[in-house]
Amino acid sequence: MPLMGDRLAAEPTVFERSRPGRRSATMPALDVAAVDPAEALPGVELAEAPPRLPEMGELDLLRHFTRLSHRNHGIDVGFYPLGSCSMKYNPRLAEVAAALPGFRQLHPWAPDAAAQGTLALLADLERWLCELTGLRAATFQPAAGAHGELTGLLLIRAYHSDRGDARRTIIVPDSAHGTNPASAAMSGYDVVTVPSGDGGLVDVDKLEDLVDESTAGLMLTNPNTLGLFELEIERIAAILHRVGALLYYDGANFNAIAGQVRPGDMGFDVVHLNVHKTFATPHGGGGPGAGPVVVSQRLAPYLPAPVVVRHDDGTWAWDADRPKSIGRLHGFHGNAAVLIRAYSYLLFHGGDGLQTMSAKAVLNANYVASKVSDVLPLGYGQHQPMHEFVATGKGLKAHGVRVTDLCKRLIDLGYHPPTNYFPLIVDEALMVEPTETESQETLDDFVAALRQIVAEAASDPQLLHDAPQTTPVTRLDEGRAGRELVLRWHPRSG
Amino acid sequence: MDFAPHTDDDLAAMLAAIGKSDLADLYRHIPESLRVRGALNLPPGRSEDEVLGALARHAAANTPDTVCFAGGGAYDHYVPAVVGAVISRGELLTSYTPYQPEVSQGMLQALFEYQTVISELTGLPVSNASLYDGGSAVAEAVSMACVATRRNKVVLSAALDAPSRQIVRTYGHPLGREVAVVDHDDRGTTPAGQVADDVAAVVIAQPNSLGVVEDVRAQAEAAHAAGAKLIVKLEPTAVGLLATPGSQGADLVIGEGQPLGQGLSYGGPSFGFLACTHDQVRRLPGRVVGQTVDRRGTRGYVMTLRAREQDIRRERATSNICTNQTLCAVAALVYVTWLGPQGLRELAAACLSRARHAAARLTRVDGVELAVSGPFLKEFALRLQGVDPHAVVGGLLDAGYLIGPVVPDGPTAGAVMVAVTERRTAAEVEGLAEALADVLRTQRRELVAAAGPAAGPAAGGESA
Ligand SMILES: Cc1ncc(COP(=O)(O)O)c(C=O)c1O
């Protein structure tokens, strides 16, 4: 194999690379009496043999995972305009911060006296998130955005039931992310869908018809999942608040407005922030993230316990004495090390840095939109997009080409494809979020690639159907994966 | 300061291209009353050097350089250097959910390997690709059992850690889920009594929150006799010695992944794992990776069983989870590969030997005894007579030793957990024992002084 050929060559599984008796681990020499498990654990059913884990020397181990990494695209490798995900540069300063021994070695059940640095940091972070959202108090337990949604909806439920008010429904727009209705169902609510109007914004007249005394709340992303700012948000808030219902802000798109517009000022009562999006903590292939929830004063009593408080002597502590709390959502304190990264990010930017950050994210999205919309029109073109835009590839259908094909061809041209087929209300949706950390040249090259592919769709559609050709595998048979359900390695499954 | 690369010329050219006069113009369509005017009340931006300086000061205000004997689901196991080397690779670190499998084979294959490892550790055939943490994993497993049995009541062992019990209640409350708790016995084990026929699941932990090994087989029989599922929250290093819960009849095995190469980091991020029997695959929450082939017949991996998930099934999804803890799952895979089967066995055996030594030594301190009599592996509960356990934990912290958590409720409330990993030396155990004797003496003296002169001489001290 050529020396650089491993980027495309198949990599056996770690089990196939395994050889009996190989090992990496060394244990400290035992300086106490060795205990015989069978004697020490009478009546306990012991393992006949240890679990069949891989057996590898350390260099082979490292090579295996290095080769796997070669078969993976990340922001560090190239442009990653995955809409709704804010795939921006993940600053390494945050990695260094989170790895400081004082943070890394801190046990979750260490007494508060041993965690003063982390508690003070969380208290600062709470204050900053309150300032950014225009709200009053926060919880850090939620481990991701959807976890925050569940938390926020449970807060809304607790608020209503504390007032003896049993409400049944949560309204979500037809453009909402799937986690919104799923979280509403987990919170015991019926889901009511409000349609979008012609401009891609919530149809506020229809919303008015749907809202009544049984409405617990509305979940909204603003800008919405089309990348459009809900211009009538104040009227929307008034409609909900008039009947005592609350507004939930899905912060997935906060990168568009951080430091520019505050959810609390728009009338939102509860917000989750995806710190792995807006505050650039690494997405890790699908987590870990963090989804802190920030609330208005009237929801604060219901926050998950414990919460960070300051004693009169200036020390910080966890306060679990919260009689109205919804309880707990995390076994420890949430993804603390992810929050430390977010803290570093905020400290680096400062207030003014956040304002230029969000504005440049909006600039980059509008720049790309303006350069491709003649060939890939916006799904809803009436309003100016914010940090992302949703184009429709429905024009490609005339050539028998779908947005999937365009996306796969983008891979051959060096780009991670944008989000596609979401939101559901745009036919052949292509959701592009460049983020602020990409340069004009990168965006120009990407635009050229998109335009080239649209031209190829007409001249050589097969090229798109056959894409990608430059990857370790071509298109995969997802139907077969679902039928055969090979979900783990077996000695025969190779 | 931001990380955007735009020069002034770039900004001017790009703004001109879209017909905007300045950056503020991008927000001018938003109602003016909503736009932030002026500066935010946030600190000013700083250089990287200054940021790291500020963070170092926060980190130094923690006191982690104590000798860690704390347990309660997070343990001071050694994390080998190779774990960090793998998960800091930018191709993995800075990728996201593998929606485009052709450019995500590295992560997808790693998750497939992770699922295999979890299947081996739990003794069940199917694993998902991770959940947020062990606590939320318990709640997800309970939901699966309730859907499977069409019942809405669960029985939790009092020796399932308190946070997990609270999370089950928090998740269950809006769905009208009934939660009952059964006390453990004097041994610290959960009695495998008769299970009512309206119970969806019995939930125990192995070893449990008191460190004691449960009889999974008996629990499984009792649960199954009532048509209920047995859910076991597994401390994963335990199966270096113990039979896997899956082999003993558990239907769902979940757990906190922290012991598998995650470090402490104040409890997060780590991950939750969840494994189940074949018949439950369509009720699994979250991502699942499956093997398939590409158009050339080459083996490859994709996310599968997608019709369970929120982006497709919306309010009828099995769970709302989207972003999970993928990188932590990969760290666990690397760790477990580093260990290998013999390493896992040696690890569990080393913890057992060291914990037995520590228990013997610590219970020679006056007024210190094991809180329960059942068999334990690396963690055990101590009863400290006549003192406030939180004060003792605080006193030990000042002496440089961390123990805990204090058992918050149930028959053993007030006992203190001590965990002994492969890192804890005989000298450290000796140091802890002496410090404990000291702290107890001081505590009792203070209690006596507070009770007034009539209370008699202070008890305590060390008999050994
Ligand atoms: C609009 C929107 N809402 C909610 C979520 C859920 O966030 P998370 O994946 O962090 O749970 C996402 C994320 O992908 C999203 O794009």
Interface contact B88-A76, CB threshold 8 A: no
Residues B274 and B375 grouped into a single domain: no
Q: Is any Cβ of chain B less than 8 angstroms from the Cβ of A88?
A: yes
Interface contact B94-A90, CB threshold 8 A: yes
Whole-number Å distance, alpha carbon B311 to ligand 1 midpoint, is 10
Residues B131 and B249 grouped into a single domain: yes
Residues B344 and B329 grouped into a single domain: no
Which among B164, B330, B337 has CB closest to A54? B337
SS3 category, B418: strand
Whole-number Å distance, alpha carbon A179 to ligand 1 midpoint, is 7
DSSP state letter for A417: P
Whole-number Å distance, alpha carbon A272 to ligand 1 midpoint, is 10
Is B67 within the bounds of a domain? no
Model-level pTM?
Answer: 0.97
CA distances, A19 to each of A27, A55, A309, A425 (Å): 20, 6, 53, 52
Which among A108, A257, A283 has CB closest to B267? A108
Phi, psi of A221 (to 5 degrees): -105, 130
Burial of residue A53 (CB within 10 Å: 0-12, 13-18, 19+) is: buried
Residues B215 and B305 grouped into a single domain: yes
Q: What is the pLDDT of residues A125-138, one digit of tens each?
A: 999 999 999 999 99
Residue B383's CB is within 10 A of a number of other CB atoms, namely: 17
Tally of domains in chain B = 2
Is B39 within the bounds of a domain? no
Which among A128, A331, A338 has CB closest to B164? A331
Tell me which residue has tokens 């040696």: B346
Q: Which domain holds residue B201?
A: 81-336
CATH number at residue B164: 3.40.640.10
Residue A41 one-letter amino acid = L
* DSSP H or E stretch at residue B271: none
CATH number at residue B370: 3.90.1150.10
Is B376 within the bounds of a domain? yes
Is B241 within the bounds of a domain? yes
Per-residue pLDDT of chain B (464 residues; tens, 9 = 90+): 899 999 999 999 999 999 999 999 999 999 999 999 989 999 999 999 999 999 999 999 998 789 999 999 999 999 999 999 999 999 999 999 999 999 999 999 999 999 999 999 999 999 999 999 999 999 999 999 999 999 999 999 999 999 999 999 999 999 999 999 999 999 999 999 999 999 999 999 999 999 999 999 999 999 999 999 999 999 999 999 999 999 999 999 999 999 999 999 999 999 999 999 999 999 999 999 999 999 999 999 999 999 999 888 999 999 999 999 999 999 999 999 999 999 999 999 999 999 999 999 999 999 999 999 999 999 999 999 999 999 999 999 999 999 999 999 999 999 999 999 999 999 999 999 999 999 999 999 988 888 876 544 444 444 43
**Which chain A residues have a beta carbon less than 8 Å from that of B238?**
none
Boundary of a domain, candidates B336, B359, B388: B336
Radius of gyration of chain B (CA): 26
Radius of gyration of chain A (CA): 25
Q: What is the value of ipTM here, to two decimals?
A: 0.98
Residues within a 6 A CB radius of ligand 1 = A 84-85, 144-146, 177, 179, 221, 225, 250, 252, 274, 289, 291; B 322-323
Q: Is any Cβ of chain B less than 8 angstroms from the Cβ of A455?
A: no
Q: Is any Cβ of chain B less than 8 angstroms from the Cβ of A322?
A: no
Residues B313 and B220 grouped into a single domain: yes
Which among A183, A189, A357 has CB closest to B320? A183
Is B13 within the bounds of a domain? no
Q: Is any Cβ of chain B less than 8 angstroms from the Cβ of A491?
A: no
Residues B279 and B146 grouped into a single domain: yes
Boundary of a domain, candidates B336, B359, B391: B336
Q: How far is A309 from chain B (nearest CA, A)?
A: 17
Residues B313 and B387 grouped into a single domain: no
d(CA B439, CA A463): 76
Residues B229 and B348 grouped into a single domain: no
DSSP state letter for B188: S
Burial of residue A461 (CB within 10 Å: 0-12, 13-18, 19+) is: middle
Residues B370 and B285 grouped into a single domain: no
Nearest CA in chain B to A19: B340
Boundary of a domain, candidates B336, B354, B387: B336
Residues B405 and B326 grouped into a single domain: no
Is B8 within the bounds of a domain? no
Residue among A175, A220, A250 whose CB has most ligand 1 atoms within 8 A, to mutate: A250
Interface contact B302-A476, CB threshold 8 A: yes
Q: Are the C-beta atoms of residues B114 and B335 closer than 8 Å to each other?
A: no
Residues B325 and B400 grouped into a single domain: no
Interface contact B55-A493, CB threshold 8 A: no
Residues B371 and B313 grouped into a single domain: no
d(CA A122, CA A224): 29
Interface contact B102-A439, CB threshold 8 A: no
Residue B304 one-letter amino acid = T
